[in-house]
Amino acid sequence: MALNVLVVDDSSVMRGIIIKTLRLSGLPLGEIFQAENGKEGLEVLEENWVDLALIDINMPVMNGEEMIEKVRENPETQDLSVVVVSTESSETRIEMLLEKDIGFVHKPFTPEILKETITSMIGGLDGDQTTEGTVPSSGPDF
């Protein structure tokens, strides 16, 4: 199953780096959408099916925390997997995000770190996975 991803960052250069790193990560990718602030990100979510959002915290117009609050308030997007990709260094702020079941990747990052964080958030969507399409066993076969 390919992941449709939304990348929200006010820097077009950083969006490009995140997208390139996603492609290098080996994750199964579908469509990749971009937005330069939380308001635009919410508009993309209204119009498209997205499995994962990679969101910066510090942005103009609507910051990442405000966007995440709106995502969680909306019944259609409340279960969206979210990973914050930020230079944020406040341990308190990062812990608050992690408590909300949100992943965190510190800039700069590697494809391996991004893949590991996304895989832990999505669960079982590793591009190297060989069991796709099989039904897991409910116990030992006797």
Domain spanning 3-122 has what CATH number? 3.40.50.2300
Q: What is the pLDDT of residue 138?
A: 36
Predicted confidence at residue 100, as pLDDT, reads: 78
What global pTM score does this model have?
Answer: 0.82
Tell how strand 52-55 and strand 29-35 pair up.
unpaired
pLDDT at position 127 over 80 = no
The DSSP 8-state label assigned to residue 74 in this structure reads S
Determine the straight-line distance between the first and last CA of the chain, rounded to whole angstroms: 32
Q: How confident is the model at residue 124 (pLDDT cuts 50, 70, 90)?
A: low
Percent with pLDDT over 90 in the chain: 48
- Nearest Cα neighbor of 105 from 86, 90, 82, 80 is 86
CA distance 57 to 63: 6
Q: What is the DSSP string of 107-141?
A: SS--HHHHHHHHHHHH-S--TT-S-TTPPPPSS--
* CA atoms in the 13 A half-sphere facing the CB of 25: 25
Range name among 10-19, 43-52, 83-92, 121-130 with the lowest pLDDT average: 121-130
**113 or 8: whose pLDDT is higher?**
8
**Residue range 16-30, pLDDT digits in tens:** 999 999 998 888 999
- Kindly list the domain boundaries of the chain, sorted by start residue: 3-122
- Average pLDDT rounded to a whole number, residues 120-138: 47
3-state secondary structure 78-96: CCCEEEEEECCCCHHHHHH
pLDDT digits (tens, 9 = 90+) for 48-86: 999 999 999 888 999 988 999 999 999 999 999 999 998
Which tokens in the block code for residue 65? 């925390």
CA 98 from centroid of its chain's CA atoms: 13
